[in-house]
Chains A and B, each alone.
Chain A
């Protein structure tokens, strides 16, 4: 019982005499009134859990970085998948999007522009019957083989033939070439075609106009235009109607693939479209340019697994990211069960602790997304240059991906919150 001999430890140093309750000898002091328990303001009810979550995340750097890396990985994966998807759809419709006309006529059986059903050339003339139609230009589309002037290899290329002087179809670089393209057997090559067709730009620069083989015919490359490769065609050449007939002999002049219509300035395209549809027989479909692009895109989305593949890839990215975030949050809770239980014993509600876990998830979403966004922007640039796909970061996609990452982390947080139930303060004693 020598413990009894020990002097009771001196309560606080005299400097703390200001404390009303400290340093007083034990006496019949009345119990303090219950602390005035006012509910924290709604802002504090969100801010304090957020701060607690941040302090906890910050404390274990390795865990924080692996979580950030996980979210970043998911962001990059989703960005790349969505980027490829949209780039492939954009490139699939690059040719149609490059056309400059208000309204198009197309055979209703045409599923996709590189395999068109032909329609009578007379439809172009009939369209002119409408007073608001300024010009209606028949367009011929065909695929032929192109022999590379560099190594002789042959690949399919898209040939586009139309009346160059009608001024309805316009590609960048075309206008100054029109005079030269009037010469027999001349053509303009798409600068953005894939490099397998040969380095035409360099050859043109070194030799001036030179002969290349298209189909079974030698034609002269006189200049460069810009369209861009698409799914159906790795490259494009543009030529006059007449030269098209020379290159594609089997095609009857009366069978055309597309009519590009320019309206008089100020005409309402929707009204004109309706009137054209009424005036023309059922073997043509009347479309505005966005509708034409959408038609083409629908083919690639519905008739090919491309859309599904990339959506599936995005989903996998999100699932992997969610599992990583869930693991991190779960192990954070599991290894701090005693502390969480203590907080519950101190009067912290399940809801408060749930907000801590959700806050941690959302902090991870933001911290992982930002580097993921930066890395994806960089990758878009590098990969876009490597694959000739039009990959570019746009605000809409960035916001969309952020929403997905946010939802992913929130879902992981909600799953991890279930572990909080195991933090039972009754088991603490």
Chain B
């Protein structure tokens, strides 16, 4: 358990202050093992997204303990959190690609923070990863010249480019139709499994539950004790091992 990429204990989080404080997470324990693909489901307002932003070091912790890729987030400085984000690949509902850059340049943006690689190496690597998501020939296209599915695949490539230790995805299929959505997450799954990168994905989409190693259901800021989500193909207990 100690080397789990994500290990949260007793995480409690509330919006607002004092009497107006509205708790969104209560005593959440969750962990993601190496290479594990975990889907987080639950009604809106159940705290999934807040949990994801805490794990992604996008939000400061309030209470509890969260160790992500070896970094304790409770009391972490802004600098430590920014450094941690570089080791996490994010995929959002919208692709959020920079409209003025080509697909290849967008993917290379994930590599520019690493001073070890030069410009040529960055672009070459970006090209390789675009090839891996099946867009090897669209590297010079701008996002507005790509279809929705292609853009989300570029976003997948960008999330993977920096060789992240963890991928966080927030409803990556929400803006896509059923078929392209399925294709994108299966592509993501295939690439992540190949590299042994764990994925924590928030989703409402029942059609993609089959990609999960484990499904975690949330309600009212708590993790439901059972494996909830009926019909999941391979339900696993919330705590493996």
List residues of chain A with CB under 8 Å of any chain B CB.
1, 3-4, 6, 8-9, 11-13, 15-16, 19, 21-32, 34-41, 44, 48, 55-56, 58-60, 336, 338-339, 341-349, 352, 424-426, 428-429
In contact, A29 and B35 (Cβ under 8 angstroms): yes
In contact, B86 and A11 (Cβ under 8 angstroms): no
In contact, B114 and A36 (Cβ under 8 angstroms): yes
Chain B residue at smallest Cβ distance from A35: B163
- B90: chain A residues at CB < 8 Å are 342, 345-346, 428
Expressed in whole angstroms, the minimum distance between the Cβ of A429 and any Cβ of chain B is: 4
**A409–B175 alpha-carbon span in the complex (Å):** 39
Known pairs A3-B210, A8-B186, A32-B195 / 13 extra A-B pairs, C-beta < 8 Å? A9-B183, A9-B186, A11-B190, A11-B194, A28-B35, A34-B163, A48-B112, A339-B98, A346-B90, A346-B109, A347-B83, A347-B85, A428-B96
Expressed in whole angstroms, the minimum distance between the Cβ of B174 and any Cβ of chain A is: 11
- B59: chain A residues at CB < 8 Å are 426
In contact, B35 and A34 (Cβ under 8 angstroms): no
**A342–B196 alpha-carbon span in the complex (Å):** 24
**A428–B186 alpha-carbon span in the complex (Å):** 23
- With beta carbons under 8 angstroms apart, the residue of B109, B131, B193 that contacts A13 is B131
Chain B residue at smallest Cβ distance from A21: B195
Check if B204 is an interface residue, CB within 8 A of chain A: no
CB proximity to A under 8 Å, residues B190-217: 190-191, 193-198, 202, 207-208, 210
- A48: chain B residues at CB < 8 Å are 112
Check if B21 is an interface residue, CB within 8 A of chain A: no
* Residue of A59, A339, A349, A429 contacting most chain B CB atoms (<10 Å): A429
Interface size on B, residues (CB 8 A): 66
Check if B235 is an interface residue, CB within 8 A of chain A: no
List residues of chain B with CB under 8 Å of any chain A CB.
5, 34-35, 49, 52-53, 56, 58-59, 69, 82-88, 90, 92-94, 96-101, 105, 109-110, 112-116, 128, 131-134, 136, 158, 162-165, 170, 182-183, 186-187, 189-191, 193-198, 202, 207-208, 210, 231, 233
In contact, A30 and B52 (Cβ under 8 angstroms): no
A-B contact count (CB 8 A): 176
- A55: chain B residues at CB < 8 Å are 100-101, 105
Query: Are A32 and B190 CB-contacts (below 8 A) given A13-B131, A38-B115, A428-B92?
Result: no
Expressed in whole angstroms, the minimum distance between the Cβ of B95 and any Cβ of chain A is: 9
- With beta carbons under 8 angstroms apart, the residue of A4, A13, A25 that contacts B233 is A4
Query: Are A348 and B194 CB-contacts (below 8 A) given A59-B99, A339-B99, A342-B96?
Result: no
**A19–B163 alpha-carbon span in the complex (Å):** 13
- With beta carbons under 8 angstroms apart, the residue of A4, A24, A31, A56 that contacts B210 is A4
Query: Are A32 and B86 CB-contacts (below 8 A) given A23-B194, A39-B115, A56-B100?
Result: no
**A342–B92 alpha-carbon span in the complex (Å):** 9
**A28–B195 alpha-carbon span in the complex (Å):** 9
In contact, A36 and B116 (Cβ under 8 angstroms): yes
- A26: chain B residues at CB < 8 Å are 189-190, 193-194
5 smallest CB-CB distances across A and B, nearest first, come from A347-B86, A59-B100, A26-B193, A29-B196, A40-B115
In contact, A8 and B191 (Cβ under 8 angstroms): no
**A345–B164 alpha-carbon span in the complex (Å):** 13
In contact, B193 and A27 (Cβ under 8 angstroms): yes
**A26–B193 alpha-carbon span in the complex (Å):** 5
Expressed in whole angstroms, the minimum distance between the Cβ of B113 and any Cβ of chain A is: 6
- With beta carbons under 8 angstroms apart, the residue of A32, A38, A39, A41 that contacts B196 is A32
Expressed in whole angstroms, the minimum distance between the Cβ of A151 and any Cβ of chain B is: 64
Query: Are A32 and B197 CB-contacts (below 8 A) given A3-B207, A8-B186, A426-B58?
Result: yes
In contact, A9 and B52 (Cβ under 8 angstroms): no
In contact, A24 and B194 (Cβ under 8 angstroms): yes
Query: Are A429 and B170 CB-contacts (below 8 A) given A3-B207, A31-B35, A34-B69?
Result: yes
Chain A residue at smallest Cβ distance from B208: A3
In contact, B112 and A345 (Cβ under 8 angstroms): no
Query: Are A32 and B165 CB-contacts (below 8 A) given A26-B194, A338-B96, A339-B99?
Result: yes
**A24–B193 alpha-carbon span in the complex (Å):** 8
- A342: chain B residues at CB < 8 Å are 90, 92, 96
In contact, A37 and B58 (Cβ under 8 angstroms): no
**A26–B213 alpha-carbon span in the complex (Å):** 12
- B49: chain A residues at CB < 8 Å are 429
Chain A residue at smallest Cβ distance from B100: A59
Expressed in whole angstroms, the minimum distance between the Cβ of A371 and any Cβ of chain B is: 23
In contact, B100 and A31 (Cβ under 8 angstroms): no
In contact, A35 and B109 (Cβ under 8 angstroms): no
Expressed in whole angstroms, the minimum distance between the Cβ of B116 and any Cβ of chain A is: 5
Expressed in whole angstroms, the minimum distance between the Cβ of B167 and any Cβ of chain A is: 11
In contact, B196 and A429 (Cβ under 8 angstroms): no
Expressed in whole angstroms, the minimum distance between the Cβ of A163 and any Cβ of chain B is: 74
Query: Are A345 and B56 CB-contacts (below 8 A) given A16-B131, A38-B115, A429-B202?
Result: yes
Expressed in whole angstroms, the minimum distance between the Cβ of B26 and any Cβ of chain A is: 19
In contact, A34 and B116 (Cβ under 8 angstroms): no
- B133: chain A residues at CB < 8 Å are 12
- With beta carbons under 8 angstroms apart, the residue of B110, B170, B191 that contacts A22 is B191
- A60: chain B residues at CB < 8 Å are 100
Expressed in whole angstroms, the minimum distance between the Cβ of A34 and any Cβ of chain B is: 5
**A184–B189 alpha-carbon span in the complex (Å):** 108
Chain B residue at smallest Cβ distance from A45: B115
**A25–B196 alpha-carbon span in the complex (Å):** 11
Query: Are A6 and B182 CB-contacts (below 8 A) given A31-B5, A31-B197?
Result: yes
In contact, B114 and A35 (Cβ under 8 angstroms): yes
- With beta carbons under 8 angstroms apart, the residue of A13, A35, A338, A345 that contacts B87 is A35
- With beta carbons under 8 angstroms apart, the residue of A1, A347, A426 that contacts B82 is A347
**A8–B84 alpha-carbon span in the complex (Å):** 32
In contact, A339 and B96 (Cβ under 8 angstroms): yes
* Residue of A21, A27, A29, A338 contacting most chain B CB atoms (<10 Å): A21
